[in-house]
């Protein structure tokens, strides 16, 4: 059975890491997208993003019919928002029955909150086996090191 890398990325950092992981493992990759767009700049970006985490929003995804039965291992990536995972990941988890999988978690962040984010994700995904977690500090600001870190981590996973 295959491995799936599934992620949400607002500014491309998580996407950058997801691509390295998928390449290393020759895995399928899906980017989650929302029908409604978040504000892209300035105060609005942080306000709407933070608010949607705090209120537990589950925005509608444009992705349809993701067939998880094909995958034994799911590698899930998110930016850290307000010390948690992002609303599109919440939508994905609530929309699909994710059980009996091997799951690895990764997150991009600006300096804090990844541990809390992973703890919340694990709590939201009962009935699965967690095989690894890794966090990346603003990957696009430091592409070479982040890329090497992602490749090493992916190669270390027993998928």
Ligand X SMILES: Cc1cc2nc3c(=O)[nH]c(=O)nc-3n(C[C@H](O)[C@H](O)[C@H](O)COP(=O)(O)O)c2cc1C
Question: Which residues here bind ligand X, judged by CB under 6 A?
Answer: 9-15, 45-46, 49-50, 79-83, 108-113, 138
> Closest distance between ligand X and the C-beta of residue 116, in Å?
8
Q: Which ranges constitute the DSSP H helices of 26-113?
A: 42-54, 87-95
**For residues 78 and 102, which CB has a smaller minimum distance to ligand X in the complex?**
78
Ramachandran region of residue 83, left (φ > 0), alpha (ψ -120 to 50) or beta? left
Given the complex with ligand X, which of 15 and 20 has the nearer CB atom?
15
Six token digits for residue 100: 């009996």
Q: How many residues does the chain have?
A: 159
Least distance in Å: CB of 38 to ligand X?
8
Q: How far is the CB of 141 from ligand X (least distance, A)?
A: 9
Contacts for 94 with CB less than 8 Å, ≥ 6 apart: 58
> Least distance to ligand X from the beta carbon of 51, Å?
9
Q: Considering beta carbons, is residue 71 or 136 the nearer one to ligand X? A: 136
Query: How many whole angstroms separate alpha carbon 36 and alpha carbon 24?
Result: 32
Kindly tell me which of 48 and 130 has the beta carbon lying closer to ligand X: 48
DSSP type of residue 29: E
């Amino acid at each position: 059975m295959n491995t799936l890398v599934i992620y949400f990325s607002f500014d491309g950092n998580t996407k950058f890491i997801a691509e390295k992981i998928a390449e290393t493992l020759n895995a399928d990759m899906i980017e989650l997208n929302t029908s409604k767009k978040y504000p892209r700049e300035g105060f609005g970006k942080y306000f709407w993003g933070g608010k949607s985490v705090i209120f537990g929003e589950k925005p509608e995804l444009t992705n349809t019919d993701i067939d998880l039965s094909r995958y034994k291992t799911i590698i899930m990536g998110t930016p850290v928002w307000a010390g948690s995972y992002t609303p599109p990941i919440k939508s994905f988890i609530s929309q699909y029955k994710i059980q009996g999988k091997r799951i690895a978690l990764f997150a991009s962040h600006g300096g804090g909150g990844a541990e809390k984010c992973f703890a919340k994700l694990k709590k939201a995904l009962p009935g699965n086996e967690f095989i690894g977690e890794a966090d990346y500090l603003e990957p696009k600001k430091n592409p070479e090191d982040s890329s090497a870190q992602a490749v090493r981590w992916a190669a270390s996973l027993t998928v």
